[in-house]
Amino acid sequence: MNKNKKGFFLVLLLLIIATIFVMTDKNTTLFAKDSEFSVRDTASIVKIYMADKNNKQVLFERKANGWVLNDSLKAHKLNVQMLLKTIKDLRVKYPVPQKAHNSIIKMMSGSSVKVEIYKNDYYINLGSIHLFPYVKKERVFYVGDATQDNMGTYMLIEGEERPYVITIPGFRGFVAARFTTNPEDWMSHAIYRIAYNNIQQVSVERPGSPEKSFQIRKLTEGYEIMALQNRQILPIYDTVALYTFLDGFKNINYESLLSGLPQQKIDSLLTCEPVHIIKITETNGHSSELKTYKMLAGQNQEALYGFEPDYDLDRIYAWYEGRMLLVQYFTFDKITRPIDYFYPHQQSQK
């Protein structure tokens, strides 16, 4: 019995010594405090802030109607979801070897992205009892460059000394690109997200073809379609065509934001005659205006269509809320119909 007790205490002592060694040896991958990068409960995340060494920064805040970018812009829903999933799936691959420690730290001090993650919490959190909510800074870490094999990313927890190589299980590549601080990468591409029953009035003007311009107005019962050229109201119209047109405003996106377009080019475009002028007023009183302008044909147009057009047949410029956008005819055709689209049994496409 005494021998058994001695053996038991000897094993216990060895286990204690081994545990102390593991927890105090920063060379081990089990140094837990250094390696806590992921946040598993992403549903509780309410704010994410990222900034790089060039003072470019983005701030995401969860609001009742979705994520907001930099206080006022609607964030791209799918991109934010990808970011949240990335934060959830981060895993330590291995600690940076001691011989490479100084060079990696030097590299990260000159080129890295600081990531701050905030989540909802409670000062009193006992089982189902949650009292006195507040926003807690849950994680702060730095995201460096990719490893030489591009299969991992160097990361460092704020306040700690040891950087780690981080990866995502099942993902081939590095995750640094998902922590971009370019606001354009996170902007929603939405132009219109308006349900048909929330449209009070919409007009489509064609300065080059005024006979095709029209205005639709919501009445107490039904709608009214008026030709803008002569202010005449259509006595009858195709109801299916009307609702198909209005329904088109529920999901209109732009292809790209032309932030690199020289101001001189933008000023020149705005002096040209617009192809379309779309004015829309919602039932809540919000109104907006969008103008489109022709885009010179690119070199690929002749190869695509067998002739060399003067203007691009696939894309067109759009000026909206002080920004020049690139949009596709494929998307915009459904909300820039001519008035004869609404004539009974006559649904011309242009």
Q: Which long-range contacts (CB under 8 A, 24 or more apart) does 256-264 make?
A: 256/325, 256/326, 257/184, 257/187, 257/323, 257/324, 257/325, 257/326, 258/317, 258/323, 258/324, 258/325, 258/326, 259/184, 259/323, 261/324
* 93-131 pLDDT per residue, tens: 999 999 999 999 999 999 999 999 999 888 887 777 878
Determine how many CB atoms are found less than 10 A away from the CB of residue 204: 22
Query: What does pTM read for this prediction?
Result: 0.69
* 189-212 pLDDT per residue, tens: 999 999 999 999 999 999 999 999
Give the bridge partners for 143, in sequence order. Answer: 113, 155
Q: What is the pLDDT of residue 329?
A: 94
* CB burial of residue 55 (10 Å; 0-12, 13-18, 19+): exposed
Strand locations in 211-286 (E): 214-218, 223-227, 232-233, 252-253, 256-257, 276-282
Determine how many CB atoms are found less than 10 A away from the CB of residue 253: 14
CA 316/CA 322 separation, integer angstroms: 16
- Phi, psi for residue 63 in degrees, rounded to 5: -115, 175
pLDDT band at 245 (very low <50, low <70, confident <90, very high): very high
Residue type, 10: L
CA 341/CA 238 separation, integer angstroms: 8
Q: What is the pLDDT of residue 195?
A: 95
Domain extents in the chain: 28-185, 190-342
Average pLDDT, the chain: 88
CA 348/CA 331 separation, integer angstroms: 17
CA 174/CA 149 separation, integer angstroms: 9
